[in-house]
Structure 1
């Protein structure tokens, strides 16, 4: 009997070691856009620690067989949650906040949320706990998390808490969560395989652990925690929007293939009939809390990139110019511009920008509009000015109305007020901000706040 137990333990240890190695490989293949370096390093360290523990255990298991106590299942569940398409803006993983251990701090459809992940067997998840002081029960644990969330500073406060039970939950405990905490079901994609976004831009299908019995519930923390103030701005300056029928009227202009492609595929306000997005006297506001935002917010870097000559067919023409001419033209920005030209040839910005506009209405703030027009006036060439004038007709300008949580961050050199207004306005409307300003995004992430953004490579105005 003891030999059989020892063999079973040894097999379990080896299997856990294999899962650690596989999980580490999957983690490293994730792009920094999906999982930033700091959270990735934290998870990598935890997996390495688990593997070290298993190596020590395998060296002694032959002499003292015992049930395997491993955290690999929990780590697999955390990575599974991180790989869900709706998870963005990951700022922290497996770290305490206000003395409460939180597995993931991120955005879910634009809403700041906390994830608590459990890999326990549902038979051992009790509601009120047992006689042992250490067995506090799920009720008390959830109450502590909810209290910590509500008492957190506004910069870290989530709109809701998500409980992910990778092995499911008993009916009795599930009903208690619903009745005492107002928990509701949250549908998440359950993969039979993991489709990873890789650093080398290839897509790789890797068999991973399945979660057929997973249960996800959402507990709302409180109203207006995202900074959605009760009073919607009463007015917005709306430009002379171009009807979709007018696209062809500009085909004879030198707008550039990238801009034409971008605008033709954009969801235009003039033909939007989505009941969840309304902008008449007031501004659009989600009519159903938690729904995926129907908006996308452009910052100045994104708008410049869209109209730049680099993005619209001038790349090869510029590279054919003598180096001396280009150095005289771009001066101290020569290396910066040349790098963009070379990168545009191998990876056109159209590909990334396409992701930002799908089924979304484009907006930008008053501040961005003024800054963009000033840049175009000073640095734009004739064709870039023409593209800018044309492109602006397809966007709605919304008032500068940054969310409370962004404005609650201290204003510093890295967290400039201007950027807090621009990104905060997108945050106010639960809209991802399309940007190349990753220095600001990293600075926000370092505070622990999740921020919903879509990154693109910078493109400069060339005088085209």
Structure 2
């Protein structure tokens, strides 16, 4: 195939891939980053076609398109994708900080996917020590993924690591990955021991980075591309038991008993924030969401939360809200304040106060998911590298005592 024909084929592929990517999960974190990478790849190919850049034809096979194609294919095969090209920070055994890019974060955060576009032969030879200088083997990358995932629990469970191979993986590598606890998706191909041609060795010299996908790799081991011994397809079915413990924050206790949450939302209040909450409630009821999440689970609240809730209730609560509060508190296991060790390392600030430390810290100690409308605290704690397992909902205030001066609508 001529250089121009190859260029036209690659440009067409890039344009189609960009169209597919733009329609994938818009609004998901990293979506724009993925599209930006594809646009950059397309601009590069168009500049080559226009004669602005001079490259060898072999370089056109070493672009990022193969890797980006693998990411798009993965996204289309998975459910509940929450992030693309997400950067996680983790520490090695020497407490040195590292970053890791996860191509697709799916299943609500419980599945991490690395999409691999490089060919099985190149991957196998790098693993065997016959790659280019600086090449990192898939096995080494898997070790890093596993180490990082153990430090990023989602609701007290470690994300499951999946390596998706879109140009195959050798049997020995697939076996090694599975032994490590990594799921493998894609064609698993047999390995023979045939001498490679010199031209295949030259092709490998073109690819120096993992995402610059070369056509073949140098070495003495040949992967038999004609012998696919297995094909493991998406979706990855994970049987993940949902956390059965729930810790209620003050904001959740108030929201649960609020008159707004119980049909009394057709008012315009003197306080703009209450009118806004009433509008939100008419648009989307919050109580069914809370009930659905709490159903069948053990409900906890720490003494700090219950004490402050009752103070607020005594001051602002109406008769119906107080009655609902007593019914709710009767369903809860009230426990002493027991902030977890990592919570006690947080530095106090405008968004991180002592009461929040007691509430979220006790939930963390109990290994419970904390229900809250206090997203400011959650973000502030995450900025100090403490990420809590939370269920965040919209807030609702106590409004029964203010209905008399509100305007019905």
- Fold-level similarity (TM above 0.5): yes
Deviations 1:226-257 (A, max 9, x none): xxxxxxxxxxxxxxxxxxxxxxxxxxxxxxxx
Q: For 1:455 and 1:371, how far apart are their aligned partners in 2?
A: 20
Contact 1:309 1:315 in 2 (8 A): yes
1:10 maps to which residue? Answer: 8
Deviations 1:351-370 (A, max 9, x none): 43244224433222222222
Superposed CA RMSD in Å reads 4.0
Q: For 1:402 and 1:108, how far apart are their aligned partners in 2?
A: 29
Contact 1:434 1:453 in 2 (8 A): yes
Larger Rg: 2
Higher RCO (CA 8 Å, separation ≥ 6 residues): 1
- Aligned counterpart for 1:374 among listed residues 311, 317, 335: 311
Instruction: Give the drift of 1:8.
Output: 4.5
1:50 maps to which residue? Answer: 38
**Cα distance change on mapping 1:177 and 1:91 into 2, 3 Å:** closer
Q: Give the secondary-structure state (helix, strand or coil) at the position aligned to 1:397.
A: strand
2:253 maps to which residue? Answer: 303
Q: Give the secondary-structure state (helix, strand or coil) at the position aligned to 1:166.
A: strand
Q: For 1:403 and 1:415, how far apart are their aligned partners in 2?
A: 15
Q: For 1:77 and 1:421, how far apart are their aligned partners in 2?
A: 44
Contact 1:129 1:135 in 2 (8 A): no
**Cα distance change on mapping 1:212 and 1:178 into 2, 3 Å:** closer
- Aligned counterpart for 1:427 among listed residues 331, 353, 364: 364
Instruction: Give the drift of 1:348.
Output: 1.6
Contact 1:128 1:140 in 2 (8 A): no
**Cα distance change on mapping 1:91 and 1:441 into 2, 3 Å:** farther
Count of matched residue pairs: 336
Instruction: Give the drift of 1:402.
Output: 3.2
Instruction: Give the drift of 1:379.
Output: 1.3
Instruction: Give the drift of 1:215.
Output: 8.8
- Aligned counterpart for 2:26 among listed residues 25, 28, 53: 28
Contact 2:10 2:45 in 1 (8 A): no
Instruction: Give the drift of 1:68.
Output: 5.4
- Aligned counterpart for 2:381 among listed residues 429, 434, 444: 444
For structure 2, list consecutive stretches of 5 or more residues without a partner in the other structure. Answer: 91-96, 186-230, 402-409
Contact 2:163 2:184 in 1 (8 A): no
Deviations 1:116-144 (A, max 9, x none): 61323461433444253323323333445
In the TM superposition, what are the counterparts of 1:323-402 in structure 2 within 5 Å? Answer: 327=270, 334-402=271-339
Q: Give the secondary-structure state (helix, strand or coil) at the position aligned to 1:297.
A: strand
2:220 maps to which residue? Answer: none
**Cα distance change on mapping 1:121 and 1:45 into 2, 3 Å:** closer
**Cα distance change on mapping 1:49 and 1:405 into 2, 3 Å:** same
In the TM superposition, what are the counterparts of 1:170-209 in structure 2 within 5 Å? Answer: 170-179=170-179, 181=180, 183=181, 185=183
Q: For 1:212 and 1:175, how far apart are their aligned partners in 2?
A: 13
Contact 1:300 1:368 in 2 (8 A): yes
Instruction: Give the drift of 1:460.
Output: 0.7
Q: For 2:33 and 2:376, how far apart are their aligned partners in 1?
A: 25
Deviations 1:213-236 (A, max 9, x none): 359799xxxxxxxxxxxxxxxxxx
Q: Give the secondary-structure state (helix, strand or coil) at the position aligned to 2:338.
A: coil
Instruction: Give the drift of 1:444.
Output: 2.9
Contact 2:161 2:183 in 1 (8 A): no
**Cα distance change on mapping 1:139 and 1:165 into 2, 3 Å:** closer
For structure 1, list consecutive stretches of 5 or more residues without a partner in the other structure. Answer: 31-39, 188-210, 219-287, 320-325, 328-333
Contact 1:116 1:161 in 2 (8 A): no
Q: Give the secondary-structure state (helix, strand or coil) at the position aligned to 1:404.
A: coil
**Cα distance change on mapping 1:377 and 1:400 into 2, 3 Å:** same
- Aligned counterpart for 2:164 among listed residues 163, 166, 186: 166
Instruction: Give the drift of 1:62.
Output: 7.2
The alignment's TM-score, normalised by the length of structure 2, stands at: 0.67
2:134 maps to which residue? Answer: 134
